[in-house]
Amino acid sequence: MSAKRAADSDRQNGSKDCADDSDHSESESPSGAVLEPIAEQSSQLTNSDIRHERDGCILSTQSGQLPQPIASTSHSSSTATPPLTVPTISASLTEQNGSEDEIDRSVPVFSTHSIGEVKTDQHMVHVQSCAQPMIGSQFYAMKSNPRGYCLIFNIIDFPDHSIQFPHRLGSESEGFRLKKIFEQLHFEVNIIKNPNKKDIETTVEEYSQKEELLKHDCFVLIVLSHGKDGGVFVASDGLYIAYKDIVEQLNNRNCKNLIKKPKLFFFSCCRGHDRDYGVDYEVEALTQTMNLDSVTADAGLIPMDRIKPQVVRVPVVSDVMICYSTIDGYVSWRHEENGTWLGMALCKVLTKSAHTTELLQLLTQISDEVSLKESDEYGAKQVVEVIQRGFTKQFYFNPGYFADSSSSTN
């Protein structure tokens, strides 16, 4: 811990709420301040004095062991069709240099394990390729290259270093990891750092009208920022944006090129002032098992001469999945070096299971990861909320697979 951190720690120890008027926003990182080199962060991750989140508000510290990189593997299909080679997809994380923000504070240590945490640029974040793609009428098509856009609004700095909206420590490294992982899932990722309200509204509208969406199979939007009750998050200029306005811009009326295609939203922001301190109860140790869905082969293509154009009416809202880092009225927590609890869980679960597991099961694992964490403040807890709107098929990322099997990663 630097001398500056130690001084801050002596001066002030504990948690602080974020977001609007003592709102607590889950993930915050220093304004203008850049994260320390990743290699330096890693040495802190194994130190019991690791400092945790300062969600612009809420601080939660946790240290953990870094998982070893997943070894490259290859699988082949046992069907009559040519085998599908499935090597591991990998991407190294480069170092980032910078200094700590002066408003950082030290807090007690709690344990956490996240594949997203990186020691050095030699430590890789791996997403494995699927052994067999899940394709067929009961599955959303996830075979285009790219799969679609992944738009990340990473709001770290706020006006005048305000007390109301502190800098969101840890959010820069979080955005970096999310970018690497979704790139490995074959998305075209665009991180927009510190956009104001107009920037966000304009960008979402522009993306909703892109012709490229016709060729894509999916759309992902992630928001990392402060938030408050009333269903809003905070832009870099301190103005509020309603979650529903973002989601509605990509509905079937406003974005016809994404009709019948899954649209995934992840909002890692506070949604109020309340803290969940949990309840104590005694339980027996339970073993957990994961049941994987069986592999289904595609029924085949329909000859073009048998396809007749027709108009089909669809709901205004369909094929939407929304994941909030916390429930309405409650704060969201963030690790001051590794980002929000939701972001860490998302990185860990996608890295570990995206190649074999359906989306709802992935979200259940993410929710479990978050619920197991505790903050420094009397062991405060957090609950993820997932909302489905017209999700009609099973969703698999199918990493490593594309429509043309010859294009599959090798």
The sheet with strand 385-389 has its strands ordered as 187-193, 148-154, 218-224, 263-268, 320-324, 385-389
Greater pLDDT, 277 or 320: 320
User: pLDDT value at position 330?
Assistant: 94
Q: Hey, what's the torsion of the CAs at 345, 347, 351, 353, to 10 degrees?
A: 40
| Domain-embedded: residue 96 | no
| Domain-embedded: residue 161 | yes
User: pLDDT value at position 173?
Assistant: 93
CA distances from 403 to 79, 298, 398 (A): 17, 11, 11
User: pLDDT value at position 171?
Assistant: 95
Residue-wise pLDDT for 52-77, tens only, equals 333 334 444 333 333 333 333 334 33
For residue 390, pLDDT beyond 70: yes
Contact between residue 342 and residue 266 where contact means Cβ atoms under 8 Å apart: yes
Residue-wise pLDDT for 10-34, tens only, equals 444 333 334 333 333 333 333 333 3
| Domain-embedded: residue 34 | no
Q: Could you tell me what percent of the chain has a pLDDT over 90?
A: 53
Give the residue-averaged pLDDT of 96-119. 30
Residue 251: both structure tokens together: 């509905």
User: pLDDT value at position 410?
Assistant: 33
Give the residue-averaged pLDDT of 110-119. 32
| Residue closest to 223 by CA, chosen among 189, 174, 170, 266 | 266
Give the residue-averaged pLDDT of 96-121. 30
| Domain-embedded: residue 23 | no
What domain range includes position 384?
A: 148-276+316-389
Residue 104: both structure tokens together: 């950082």
Q: Give the burial class of 125: count Cβ atoms within 10 A of its Cβ; 0-12 exposed, 13-18 middle, 19 or more buried.
A: buried
Q: What is the CATH number of the domain that holds 191?
A: 3.40.50.1460
Confidence band, pLDDT 50/70/90 cuts, at residue 303: low
Q: Which amino acid is at 129?
A: S
Question: Which residues 6+ apart lie within 8 Å of 267 measured at CB?
Answer: 222, 223, 227, 233, 243, 322, 323, 324, 325
| Domain-embedded: residue 307 | no
| Domain-embedded: residue 344 | yes
Mean pLDDT of the chain: 73
CA distances from 207 to 40, 189, 202, 255 (A): 37, 12, 9, 9
| Domain-embedded: residue 178 | yes
Between CA 285 and CA 69 the distance in angstroms is 28
User: pLDDT value at position 9?
Assistant: 43
User: pLDDT value at position 376?
Assistant: 81
SS (H, E, C) the chain: CCHHHHHHHHHCCCCCCCCHHHCCECCCECCCCCCCCHHHHHHHHCCCCCCCCCEECEECCEECCCCCCCCCCCCCCCCCCCCCCCCEEEEECCCCCCCCCCCCCCCCCEECCCCCCCCCCCCEEEEECCCCCCCCCCECCCCCCCCEEEEEEECCCCHHHCCCCCCECCHHHHHHHHHHHHHHCCEEEEEEECCCHHHHHHHHHHHHCCHHHHHCCEEEEEEECCEECCCEEECCCCCEEEHHHHHHCCCCCCCHHHCCCCEEEEEECCCCCECECCCCCCCCCCCCCCCCCCCCCCCCCCCHHHCCCCCCCCCCCCCEEEEECCCCCECCCEECCCEEHHHHHHHHHHHHHCCCCCHHHHHHHHHHHHHCCCCCCCCCECCCEEEEECCCCECCCCCCCCCCHHHCCC
User: pLDDT value at position 284?
Assistant: 59
How many domains does the structure of the chain reveal?
1
Confidence band, pLDDT 50/70/90 cuts, at residue 308: low
Residue-wise pLDDT for 205-248, tens only, equals 999 999 999 999 999 999 999 999 999 999 999 999 999 999 99
User: pLDDT value at position 163?
Assistant: 76
| Domain-embedded: residue 293 | no
User: pLDDT value at position 394?
Assistant: 98
- What is the bridge-based pairing of β-strands 320-324 and 385-389? antiparallel
For residue 370, pLDDT beyond 90: yes
User: pLDDT value at position 346?
Assistant: 96
User: pLDDT value at position 397?
Assistant: 98
User: pLDDT value at position 282?
Assistant: 74
Q: What is the pTM of this model?
A: 0.67
Q: Which amino acid is at 322?
A: I
